[in-house]
Amino acid sequence: MGKPTGFLEYQRKESGRRSVRERILDYQEFLLKPDVADLQTQGARCMDCGVSFCHAGIVIDGQSIGCPLANLISETNDLVYRGNFAWAYERLRKTHPFPEFTSKVCPALCEGSCAVGEHGEPVAIKEIERFLVGFAADKQLDGPRRPALSSGRRVAVVGSGPAGLAAADLLNQLGEEVTVFERNDRPGGLLMYGIPNMKLNKDVINRRITIMEAEGIHFQTKVEVGVGLSVDVLLQDFDALILAGGATQPRLLSAPGANLEGVVPAVHFLTQATKRLLDPTSPAISTLDAARKDVVVIGGGDTGTDCVATAIRQGAASVMQIEIMPEASQERPSGNPWPLWPRVLKTDYGQKEAMELFGSDPRQYLTTVTEVLGKDGKVSGVKTVRVEWQTKNGRMIPVHVAGSEKMHPAGLVLVAMGFLGPEKTLLEALGLAADARGNVQTPPGRYNSTIPAIFAAGDMRRGQSLVVWALMEGRGAARQCHDYLSADALPKKHVY
């Protein structure tokens, strides 16, 4: 371990963020560069527990414990404490394909299960990871790694989000020839267009794509499998398929008036904002904009926060965020003990920006929209009501509180209520079975679909989840796909 008494001597310290008044004027990343000495002190706080939960990567009753990638966190922290940064990065890369992504966007499941955090503040593991990423880039330790062998087999990966990229990366290293198909104009999927630039700079994604191309991975953009590219052609040209198209079917608002102009799925709003940033002169860019509008964001979570922050940068007149769930407590609830991920109140960067800019927390808890109001076909406001959660027939349901109705002005309503699963076009074209939630059906703990040589990973298989889970799934699907292709009994061509 690092310093045996470090967890007693030192406190948690993060690098901090750019001031709100400065960062809301641009779309540059808001995180400040970590201080090396501070991170070595954080490494010293790591206890190297006899039984570590920070890298457990398991789920109990729907609650996470530790990092799904099983990162060698204690070893990495110890090496950072001792100043062996290159070795620390190599330890990190043994299990993690893209730490440059999670070090910026992951909620740090590892920290939620850190032993130091049971009675205090956890080790700043995510900060250490972010520092190592920058160190490796500066020292050119993260460059292309060409695979030593080639199997001569070809694998198509459909979707270039975190699951697709992770699958392509590992398959390539295992000697398979990989082509990644992306229907958008740039690779990256959710990373590129679902997460705003101030949270994950797109240069980071572009750099990784360039490295992957140098390693021999092929990317084809503006190609939608099952629409622009026939699945029959794909099945003939490749020995196996990995489906990693994500859960891209948004849950829509069902209240009256939800079809008015100005009621927009959150992911569409975020996508257009990033496209405008990357290519402001393109005639194809939407005019969707929050400037000088009262913005209502329906839904919490990371997507809701990103909508709040993006609307502020576009010059919104006001921002309100509506959440049907109650406000979380400051302390862990009784059914959520360590080392489970702590379900406590978190105020993220978007809410903090709104609080400083508008003077109050934008979140309205235990509230739901009952109607969207309009004028001349465009949204002009929303009608809300307070709710109480009550048990009926063994289920918790929200019940409207009489007399709590309110009306709020709105020029833009962003629906961030999650996703219902993958779009059906590709599943139907391939004739794949879906599970009860509409995801690609696979056996428990496995990635093979109901058709041989077709595998699924990420949100398309497990439903809407975190980037780190998608990375884990992509690697898992890649291993299973490689094992399948490597089997002695494998014919030269498959019958689908």
pLDDT of 288 higher than 50: yes
- Give the residue-averaged pLDDT of 104-115: 95
Ranking 94-98, 317-321, 333-337, 492-496 by mean pLDDT, the lowest is 492-496
Question: Domain of 358?
Answer: 263-415
pLDDT at 491: 53
Confidence class for position 20, pLDDT limits 50, 70, 90: very high
Is residue 319 located within the same domain as residue 363?
yes
**CA 187/CA 219 separation, integer angstroms:** 8
Is residue 356 located within the same domain as residue 270?
yes
Is residue 355 located within the same domain as residue 465?
no
* Structural domain includes residue 93: yes
Record the tokens describing residue 376, joined without a space: 């001349």
Is residue 81 located within the same domain as residue 190?
no
Dump pLDDT digits (tens) for 183-207.
999 999 999 999 999 999 999 999 9
Dump pLDDT digits (tens) for 232-252.
999 999 999 999 999 999 999
How many residues are listed for the chain in this entry?
Answer: 496
- Give the residue-averaged pLDDT of 66-72: 95
Is residue 328 located within the same domain as residue 455?
no
Q: Is the pTM for the entire model greater than 0.85?
A: yes
pLDDT of 61 higher than 90: no
Ranking 277-286, 326-335, 383-392, 399-408 by mean pLDDT, the lowest is 277-286
Q: What is the number of domains present in the chain?
A: 3
Confidence class for position 489, pLDDT limits 50, 70, 90: very low
Q: Which of 2, 91, 84 is nearest to 42 (CA)?
A: 2
pLDDT of 151 higher than 90: yes
- Give the residue-averaged pLDDT of 314-337: 94
Dump pLDDT digits (tens) for 121-140.
999 999 999 999 999 999 99
pLDDT of 108 higher than 90: yes
Is residue 339 located within the same domain as residue 367?
yes
Beta carbons within 8 Å of 295's beta carbon, 6+ residues apart: 307, 308, 311, 316, 317, 318, 319, 320, 410, 411, 412, 413, 414
Average pLDDT, the chain: 94
* Structural domain includes residue 145: no
- Give the residue-averaged pLDDT of 84-94: 97
Is residue 111 located within the same domain as residue 201?
no
Final residue before a domain boundary, out of 138, 164, 192: 138
Do 430 and 423 form a contact (C-beta atoms < 8 A)? no
Is residue 405 located within the same domain as residue 271?
yes
Is residue 211 located within the same domain as residue 302?
no
Q: Which of 15, 14, 74, 71 is nearest to 46 (CA)?
A: 74
Strand-pair partners of 372: 382
Is residue 346 located within the same domain as residue 359?
yes
pLDDT of 141 higher than 80: yes
Beta carbons within 8 Å of 496's beta carbon, 6+ residues apart: 235, 451, 452, 453, 454
Per-residue CA distances from 112 to 56, 107, 286, 342, 344 (Å):
11, 9, 39, 6, 11
Ranking 31-45, 151-165, 463-477, 479-493 by mean pLDDT, the lowest is 479-493
* Structural domain includes residue 147: no
Is residue 308 located within the same domain as residue 395?
yes
* Structural domain includes residue 216: yes
What share of the chain in percent tops pLDDT 70? 98
* Structural domain includes residue 236: yes
Radius of gyration of the chain (CA): 23
pLDDT at 284: 67
Sign of CA dihedral 75, 77, 78, 84: positive
* Structural domain includes residue 492: no
Confidence class for position 437, pLDDT limits 50, 70, 90: very high
pLDDT at 490: 52
Is residue 59 located within the same domain as residue 79?
yes
